[in-house]
Structure 1
């Protein structure tokens, strides 16, 4: 006899969560080299912390501004390809005072960081195997729209850039806060 104290639909919610967990486990397995093949369901039943050595380095998407050469150049090259071949032609209309865009966006570290984060989320949320068919909608709502509002705003990183003029220094602080400096 089913538990009458459980909320209605709880069993379906649990099954949905299990399906999402299996999809995520499959994505992690595809992205992570595994020493020995495992069954997806057996991986879900096991504690992943037991299988992982304590000193193993975890793989996370890189934050582009923390990368050094040549990793930075490689990541930037891939980002430029996505921005110039997918984002700009598919999404960005003509720039205006209300919707700025700088074609030299790679000179703006804030823009590089935001666009890189947008690209990482696009990679994850446009794969139906990992996020279902609602991923692109989530990407637009949660990632693209807020990113573009910030980048293209009159106070954003392109605030001093116009079609005929490019400025980077307008976003750079003149002094670094004293807590950030070392006093040796």
Structure 2
């Protein structure tokens, strides 16, 4: 019988399957967080394991790398070395075509702090979003849309950090910061 309520429906929209995969990935991530909090031994949700142990180093502490521009040597050097391997081994051969006036690229990108910051953020997202165990099958698509494409647009734009770099010339300090607006200055009475 066509109107039987016990009969399964097969006219499910295709996008629903992608939504289900996203929900599965979010559930897996939340489950991992709950397990980590449970293993921490009943700390308050706002309290970290380091707070509970009086600031001692905890194995969770090094889990999430900080913003690369805030690191100091030797941590910065180690993080930059790993980033260079990813950019030169994955990003450049896979995603960058021949540089042009409309799509610039500097082979000394690691000397441009803005490029290092953007590429590091893109790399961190890539590490998270290309693992099907944590992000499902839609992670790479999300990475391309939300991280890679905007980062490359900004980096390779004519006004981006490589604007003074051409095939024959490399300029690191081609954009000097302007005067800080007076609203940002602290005036001493």
TM-score normalised according to structure 1 size: 0.72
Q: Which runs of 5+ in 1 are unaligned?
A: 1-11, 37-45
1:122 is aligned to 2:126: yes
SS class of match (1:79):
helix
Rounded to whole Å, the distance in 1 between the matches of 2:150 and 2:163 is 17
* Residue equivalent to 2:96: 92
Structure 1 87/28 Cα, relative in aligned 2: closer, same or farther at 3 Å? farther
Rounded to whole Å, the distance in 1 between the matches of 2:23 and 2:51 is 29
How far is 1:119 from its partner?
0.2
Rounded to whole Å, the distance in 2 between the matches of 1:141 and 1:128 is 17
Matches within 5 A, 1:39-78: 49=45, 52-53=48-49, 55-56=51-52, 59=61, 60-78=64-82
Structure 1 150/170 Cα, relative in aligned 2: closer, same or farther at 3 Å? same
Structure 1 81/22 Cα, relative in aligned 2: closer, same or farther at 3 Å? same
Aligned residues: 161
SS class of match (1:167):
coil
* Residue equivalent to 1:132: 136
Q: Which runs of 5+ in 2 are unaligned?
A: 1-16
**RMSD, matched Cα:** 3.5
Q: Please say if residues 98 and 152 of structure 1, whose CA atoms lie closer than 8 Å, have aligned partners that are also in contact.
A: yes
1:24 is aligned to 2:29: yes
* Residue equivalent to 1:39: none
Rounded to whole Å, the distance in 1 between the matches of 2:89 and 2:102 is 23
Structure 1 25/104 Cα, relative in aligned 2: closer, same or farther at 3 Å? same
Asked which structure has the greater CA Rg, the reply is 2
Q: Please say if residues 25 and 133 of structure 2, whose CA atoms lie closer than 8 Å, have aligned partners that are also in contact.
A: no
SS class of match (1:150):
helix
Rounded to whole Å, the distance in 1 between the matches of 2:137 and 2:21 is 14
Structure 1 24/174 Cα, relative in aligned 2: closer, same or farther at 3 Å? same
Rounded to whole Å, the distance in 2 between the matches of 1:90 and 1:75 is 21
Structure 1 172/30 Cα, relative in aligned 2: closer, same or farther at 3 Å? farther
TM-score normalised according to structure 2 size: 0.71
Runs (4 or more) in structure 1 with deviation over 6 Å come to 15-18, 29-32
